[in-house]
Amino acid sequence: MTSRLQYALGVHQYQEHHEMESAFAVVGLGYVGLPVALALAKEFEPVIGFDLSRRRIEELRAATDVTSEIAERDLRGTTVQFSDDPDALGQASFFIVTVPTPITAERRPDLAPLESACTLIGQRLKPGSVVVFESTVYPGLTRGVCGPLLEKASGLKCGVEFKLGYSPERINPGDEEHRLSAITKVVAGQDQETLERIAAVYERIIAAGVHRAPSIEIAEAAKVIENTQRDLNIALMNELAIIFDRLDLTTRDVLAAAGTKWNFLRFTPGLVGGHCIGVDPYYLTARAEAVGYYPEIILAGRRINDGMGGFIARRLVKMLIAAE
């Protein structure tokens, strides 16, 4: 099937489904959810932007975004209905979940925000609804964890009375070039009809287009390896920096020389933190261990990157002593 024909069918199926959509809801209004909510509101109505934080909702109603992802003028001009009242979710039939997926102190997946979101949505879920998750998870979590939680809270049958979808976020905070609409969106659904329903919605807000993944699990895996790959590449550069420091070589000069080859990957050493790169690999490693495989390379990369703060601190102390 050609992409043009797929698009045409998707639009037709969306038009059919849109007649049944009572409202759209974005659950979680951080640096991921807020841009999604505003983009949806330019194409659909009503759109409910929900967050548990009353302070966050009050700030957004006052046209203030502390994440600096959305300008004041855009917040003042949006039709998004910002709310911290869970009952506002009862209007919706198309849910997008963008809550954080952090790790615990033991570096294991912390599913509490996701579980809370499923309970809130489930208690207000209507037959015929679709729930799309954008939060980074390990392969199998949407279907194996979120589906049962939604079933339990709603009393509805997953895959029959409501459907699941997954479309991983690819927001790069502070990046003015790679904005939401400019990044191809991976979409997946519980079945073909749900896939097209989800794809048709995202095609309205993503100028770069969508990629239809064959399954929810493939889309989940694709997301988690994006940041894992970057984490490992940075870990290699960090390990090289440690080696070159002991050899009294300037890492920057070594990389500049190596970078003259056409197929040398241009990564640089540095600290790895934030919400994604330093967290997401642990979701994949936890799932790998659950099926009996210990992921040595991924965890080794994490250890190297976690130790870079100490290396930099020791290096600075040596430089200060040498400067005296």
Known catalytic residues?
276
**What would the 3-class secondary structure string for 54-92 be?**
HHHHHHHHCCCCCCCCCCHHHHHHCCCEEECCHHHHHHC
What order of strands is seen across the sheet that includes strand 162-166? 81-83, 47-50, 24-27, 94-97, 129-133, 162-166, 185-189, 210-212
The SS3 assignment for 198 reads helix
Q: Please, which residues bridge with residue 103 across strands?
A: 109
All residues at 6 or more sequence positions from 288 whose CB lies less than 8 Å from its CB, including other chains: 294, 295, 298
Query: How far, in Å, are 72, 121, 193, 198, 308 from residue 168 at the CA level?
Result: 26, 19, 19, 12, 29
Rounded CA separation 280/273 (Å):
11
Q: Which of 192, 193, 197 is nearest to 214 (CA)?
A: 192
Separation CA 126–CA 130 (nearest Å): 9
Residues ≥6 apart with Cβ < 8 Å to 75: 38, 60, 63, 64, 65
Dihedral angle computed from the Cα positions of residues 143, 144, 147 and 150, in that order, rounded to the nearest 10 degrees: -150
H helices present in the chain, as ranges: 3-18, 33-41, 54-61, 72-77, 112-122, 141, 147-154, 192-203, 216-246, 251-258, 280-290, 296-306, 308-323
